[in-house]
Chain A
Amino acid sequence: MVTPMFRFDPVELPPEALALRQEVRAFIAEHQDVMGFFRSSFNRDFSKAMARRGWIGMTWPKQYGGHERSAFERYVVIEEMLVAGAPLSAHYTGDRQSGPNILRFGTEEQKRFFLPRIAAGELTFCIGMSEPNSGSDLAGTRTRAVKVDGGYRINGSKLWTSNAHRADYAILFCKMASDGQQEVDRHAGATQFLLDLKTPGIEIRPVINLLGEHHFNEIFLTDVFVPDSLLLGKEGNGWNQVTSELAFERSAPDRFLVLFQMLREMVRMAGPDPDKATAAALGKLISQLATLRSMSLSIAGMLQDGLQPNNESAVVKDLGTRYEQDIPVVARQLFPTEPELEAVETYVSMIARSTMNAPRFSIQGGTREILRGIIARGLGLR
């Protein structure tokens, strides 16, 4: 065989992860009042409560406020929280990608400042990648940093930034100004900053999504000064760093578990003895989910072994978003209803919410086309 095959070795959860699952379920039962379906809720008290249990920054070193637990234990906490619809927004980006990237590329001072605060549920991060003219083509960023005395002066804008209006910091991706020289290497000069969103010169405007909700924003940066101490990693190493950040983002199981509650409602509506067509349609989705979960666990195993499963993560995200987009499609075939966002009946509002959210699954965190391009590169085609 000459083609590189993506490896998903079977993983069995260790006993400590199984014990932890029971703790997490008990915790969720105690906080049932704040659980919901797909509302990306921002709840700092809940994040702090999770932090007190040691469930944020779980795999980070203890010296930075982490808990040095395994990737499997972290996996169990996240999957249980996602399935329960826990309000994770206040810490999730920091826990999933900003913290790990600071741990990998940050200075000692940065690690000591940021990581314990993220792990305590006190500091909220948001992403700072997309721009009005730079979406999938991240290297086309137009936001520019210029070196000035003691720091950098940054101009530009960011778009589709979830939670920017509530976050404390962003990891800003931009480029060093190139003095009008012709760009040879598109990744040259790329740089990341830890951007305090209260810095003068930053304006954050809401972008209302098609559900009428305010989750994402546009950020305008006008002569924003960032001190040297908040440069993340190295000037010019930003492409490597942002690729790492995206790998952390894509390796999480949140790409196929957000609609679990809807699948569960469909099983409820099917009743204990469904007809063959209903059982087949649900069985197909459940078989896909069981397979995705085993693949995702296997990614946790690779992370635990210190590997960087970028191709495998792209595969799981591509398959996972397809599966989640199919859920409302199958739902309307099995149990048709007119969707109503504010319906009292759980299923009716779920079908509204999932139908309206579905398009974004295969866009956020890398479009389907970009992911398939990554997979194709992994196959040696590019």
Chain B
Amino acid sequence: MAMRDETRMLLESMTRLFEDKSTKQVVDAAETGVFAADLWQAVAETGVPLAALPEASGGADAEWSDLFAVLRVAGRFSAPIPLAETMLAGWVAAGAGLEVADGPMTVGPVRPGETLTLAQDGNGWRLSGTASRLPYASHAARTVLIADGPDGEMAVALDGTGEARVTAGRNIANEPRDTLAFDGVRIAADAAAPLNAGVSKAALYRRGALARATMMSGALERALDLAVTYAQERVQFGRPISKFQAVQQNLAVLAGQTAAAVAAANLGIEALGKGDPARETFLIAVAKARVGEAATLAAEIAHQVHGAIGFTKEYALQLSTRRLWSWREEFGPDPEWAVQVGKAACANGADGLWAMLTAV
């Protein structure tokens, strides 16, 4: 089915923006720890980071599917900004009626086992617990967290990182992954509120996984593009290496894995907002499992085709592959998600397997 015109226009304009603003120089600079403020500003001006929010909260009621499509483009250009995190932070905070920030936001917890606790304290709250490896927390204008309150999960929105003890960290793509520890930090009454329907720590984790899967599908497109271009330029034995069948066959596999990754991420994206949590969970698990598998196979081939140049800092391939190797583990590695797919299928039973795959 043809892509909607609005979606196509959005993607074209965002592609131009990232192409101009998320250059290798910008990503290299961001990797030294300096926030890519110009890039963020340009992206923020499009309204995309908060576009999914209702108009009343400063958003545009945009389709999540469109925003995830933008994440694929951001992944293609290794955009060193917390775009997915800001989208998700807005979703959690605005849903709970909390204020969102104009600037970059982070969101968490991003690890399934971690729990933050909110205890009543007079007319406010006290927040305890640790949220590890929050993306870009040290650069965030606002931190949005999901914590266990006395009556269930609640959203908490902090200016900056509030009064957390911050331990800076980073992933192997040098993207900030900072750990926030809260030791009974005092939170004002209006900075915490019950979650909106459909929002939960588990739902945040799923959407985070889908965001990474989608960004990876973009990074794979980039790796394929670089590998195909390089193979046509690099001459050995008197001809471009793209003329050797062994290289062609490898690139064909890379193209197939890339296409599968995009299709798998789209499966998860299409399931969003259909109002069927079980279906959404299953297809997001499929997406993260399949894209992670593709990332492993494809990164290997992209490097093999490039030879030694692809192993250098100077050449751009590593921007994509180091992100693939980071993102495939974040929000759960593909084997973990494959376990979820397998368990769901087995619990559903052999005779229901086909119905499960063909369900709307």
Contacts and interface: CB of A to CB of B under 8 A. Distances in A.
Interface of A: 1-3, 5-6, 8-13, 18, 21, 79, 83, 260, 263-265, 267-268, 270-274, 276, 278-284, 286-295, 298, 301, 305, 312, 315, 318-319, 369, 371-373, 375-376, 378-382
A264 B353 contact: yes
A292 B360 CA distance: 16
B285 A283 contact: yes
Contact of A3 (B224, B340, B357): B224
Contacts of B339: 276, 279-280, 283
A8 B263 contact: yes
B341 interface: yes
A295 B260 contact: yes
Contacts of A8: 259, 262-263, 266
- The dominant DSSP class at the A interface is helix
A287 B264 contact: yes
A294 B249 contact: no
Interface residues of B, number: 59
A6 B345 contact: no
Contacts of B2: 9, 305
B323 interface: no
15 contacts: A5-B258, A6-B255, A8-B259, A9-B2, A9-B3, A272-B349, A283-B341, A288-B290, A290-B290, A291-B267, A319-B256, A319-B260, A373-B245, A376-B252, A380-B228
A283 B229 contact: no
Contacts of B93: none
A268 B248 CA distance: 40
Given A10-B1, A291-B267, A283 B256 contact: no
A381 B242 contact: yes
Interface centre among B231, B247, B339 (most CB of A within 10 A): B339
Nearest to A281: B342
Contact of B347 (A273, A280, A380): A273
A140 to B, nearest CB: 18
Contacts of A286: 286, 341-342, 345, 353, 357
Nearest to A12: B1
Contacts of A18: 360
B358 interface: yes
B125 to A, nearest CB: 38
A373 B248 contact: yes
Contacts of B248: 372-373, 376, 381-382
A375 B256 contact: yes
Contacts of A293: 357
Nearest to B65: A10
A295 B358 contact: no
Contact of A290 (B221, B269, B350, B357): B357
A18 B270 CA distance: 17
A287 B1 CA distance: 22
B167 interface: no
B252 A283 contact: no
Nearest to B3: A9
Contacts of B103: none
Given A272-B347, A283-B342, A6 B259 contact: yes
Given A282-B345, A290-B283, A295-B259, A318 B266 contact: no
